[in-house]
Amino acid sequence: MSAIAKSLCWAGMLIALALANHFALIADKDAATLFAIIPALWVASGGLGRTAPCKAA
């Protein structure tokens, strides 16, 4: 699975969370917490991949 496809899955999860919150399936305080945790998990799992380190002059 490409990095873009993985990122689209994470985005889909955020959209599903927003819809669940909108239709009162998830409480506001819980949704707010998950809106902070899900992007952090995305970054911790690699995000869009590794970038080349900067070379110091």
Residue 29 falls within a domain, yes or no?
A: yes
Q: What is the pTM of this model?
A: 0.76
What pLDDT shows up at residue 56?
62
- 36 or 52: which carries more pLDDT confidence? 36
Is residue 55 assigned to a domain? no
CA-CA distance, 25 to 41, in Å (whole number)? 22
Domain with 25 in it: 3-44
Q: What is the pLDDT of residue 54?
A: 61
How many domains does one find in the chain? 1
pLDDT in tens, 10-46: 999 999 999 999 999 999 999 999 999 999 998 888 7
Higher pLDDT, 47 or 35: 35
In a domain, 38, yes or no: yes
Structure-token match 């899955």, residue found = 9
Long-range contacts formed by 1-4: CB under 8 A, 24+ apart: 3/46, 3/47, 3/48, 3/49, 4/48
Residue with token string 């995305």: 42
